[in-house]
Structure 1
Amino acid sequence: MNRRNVLILPVGLISLLLGAVGPAHAEKGFGGGTDGQTEQRADTGDDGTVSVTVGGVVFDRSKNGSGGSVGPVTSATSWSPPACWYAPKFNPQELQDYLEPIWEAESTGYEWDAKQREKYNAKDEKKGFNKDKTGKGFWWGRYVNESYPPGWDKCDTDYFWVDTGDPPPADKENAVTPEVLAELAYAEIRVPGTEVTLAPAEATKVNLPTWAWLDGAEFKPVSVTASVPEIGINATATAEPVSLRIVPGTPDAETYPASGVCEIKDGRIGAPYEKGRANDTPPCGVKYLRSSGEGTFPLQATVTWEIHWTGSGGAGGDLPDGTFGATQDVVVQEIQAVNR
């Protein structure tokens, strides 16, 4: 009698593996390539809006920040967007088409395959995989942030069914709801860079107030909308700039204001330097008390963005503030006195 070597894996691991793998039919709509994470497609609407499907969620980035210096915000608290989530993944026929070849390959072991067939009632041609509910719901599965941040393996539940119009099970944390979509949209927000304009520009002087400001045209609200059209829910996360924090890069310096935090006013952070105001106190800036010698001081400029969201069904609220910053080198020279 011939014996075949069969790899038998723990049930929890198999569930994790199956849950992580996306449909081979990803082009049809639930999205995510072969692992449920990769950007699947970009669609252009009649109004020119470009949307991208990632992990079963459609993101509209048309009102996001743009340009070469943009970047993602970092939560100002310990909170972070979901590292994994559950979303509609298969209709009944699609789940059958996906799972049966796995069972036929017998790579997961006879006992596991048998339990899976029983779970999905696979032998019933009319009701197996919930075929009798076709068009009335979806099989939901997990998706994972492609950068695999901490917590990416938290969603370890196998596929589960949700009837159209019903909320996902309460015990399925991170199953997409308007609030979860808002949190996923948070991760997609991109804001402009924070290199500040300084005056004097090329090199400032010891004990001379240096003016700092940001172009008000660049610092306006940005937003990203996340949606799951199959179940008719959506959420928009909006980020608005509120302040700039300056860290001079040396303790031998003073900031204006003393806190180093410059509030946004009339759509601008700080004010451009005007000729004849060299000795005035700038609304936003820094004064270095010693020279940088042959080197430079690493001035850090970080903008804080307030983030809130609105969603389908009148839902909405606040999300943690986000920050985005950059470091730029500043040359500080001694003032040269002329002896006569």
Structure 2
Amino acid sequence: MPKPDYQAGVGQPVEGQGGHWYQKFCSFGDYQTLADFQRALGGLDAMDVRQTDMLQRAGLEVRFFTTTPPVPRRTPEQAMLEIYGQIDFPKTFLAVNPAAAKQVVGLPTWVWLTNENGQFDPKRYAVQTKEIGTTEGYQLKWQIVPMLTLSPETGDPQKCAEAGVPWSESDADNPDACTVTYNKAGKYTLTADVNWTVRWWLAGEAQDPIPGPTNTATQEVIVGEIQTVTR
């Protein structure tokens, strides 16, 4: 990459006079870009032996070229990571039944995901696949896969398939419904986490998945008890 701020030493060419200075960087480990690497390097003491090892692995080198040097071809992983950075992972919104302030001990609380307008939108949280075609000579395809986890603040988290099912009397026995049940009255924070995973293929061969973001929505719920009268 160009390095116009390089301070030339005695006898070295001057930037812009017959050519330009460039810096080479070899990505490795968690450092896919020079900026990532420099941030990590900035947190180490100059005498730290890890700094020397990192510099060697990064292959940092500054050279003067009279013509623009060829850009090395990126790896498939690097090409996919750039595509990953352009994927729009939907924000999470949720709805509940019974109403948030009218939850009842022992009665399942139905939870489903909505769009920003409160409308059930299952396609928003469905598996999505896209054929990239050929990028830098690589045949790529990606797929984003969601996993919904409900945390009621009491009891164990509950994993659900995609967006759940909106409450309706006709769907009361739907096995795909996503529910939690409160066993004690009180005020709780119900959390819905949608964790996205990016699966991808190179020339039809599956590669190691890339962990995606976890988008979260919360809802305060008030759980009461139904009083019964016995004689």
Same fold (TM over 0.5): yes
Match of 1:74 in 2: none
Residue aligning to 1:286: 180
After superposition, give the CA deviation of every residue in 1:3-55 in whole Å (9 maximum; x if it has no partner): xxxxxxxxxxxxxxxxxxxxxxxxxxxxxxxxxxxxxxxxxxxxxxxxxxxxx
Match of 2:196 in 1: 305
* Residue number in structure 2 paired with 1:205: 104
CA, structure 1 residues 243+199, in 2 after alignment: closer, same or farther (shift >3 Å)?
same
Write the distance in 2 (CA, Å) between the matches of 1:330 and 1:291: 10
Contact 1:185 1:236 in 2 (8 A): no
1:240 is the counterpart of 2:121: no
Which AA in structure 1 matches 2:183?
L
Q: In the alignment, is the contact (CA less than 8 A) between 1:140 and 1:159 conserved in 2? A: yes
The alignment status of 1:321 with 2:223, answered yes or no, reads no
Residue 306 (structure 1) shift: 2.6
- Displacement after TM superposition at 1:274 (Å): 0.6
Unaligned runs of 5+ in 2: 26-32, 44-53, 114-120
**TM-score for the superposition, normalised by structure 1:** 0.44
CA contact (8 A) 1:245 1:260 kept: yes
2:111–2:179 Cα contact (<8 Å) kept = yes
Matched residue, 1:159: 62
Aligned to 1:182: 80
The CA deviation at 1:143 is: 3.6
Distance 1:222 1:307 in 2: 10
Q: What number of residue pairs does the alignment pair up?
A: 195
| Inter-partner Cα distance in structure 2 for 1:213 and 1:310 | 31
1:334 aligns with 2:225: yes
- Per the TM alignment, residue 145 of structure 1 is displaced from its structure 2 partner at its CA by 4.9
User: Distance between the aligned counterparts of 1:330 and 1:245, measured in 2?
Assistant: 17
- Residue 291 of structure 1: CA displacement? 0.9
Secondary structure of the residue aligned to 2:60 is coil
The offset of 1:152, in angstroms, is 7.5
The equivalent residue for 1:60 is none
Partner of 1:217: 123
**Take 2:42 and 2:207, find their aligned partners in 1: how far apart are those partners?**
25
Structure 1 unaligned regions, length at least 5: 1-88, 104-112, 131-137, 168-175
Contact 1:239–1:307 under 8 Å retained in 2: yes
Please, what is the CA RMSD of the aligned residues?
4.5
CA distance in 2, matches of 1:151, 1:222: 37
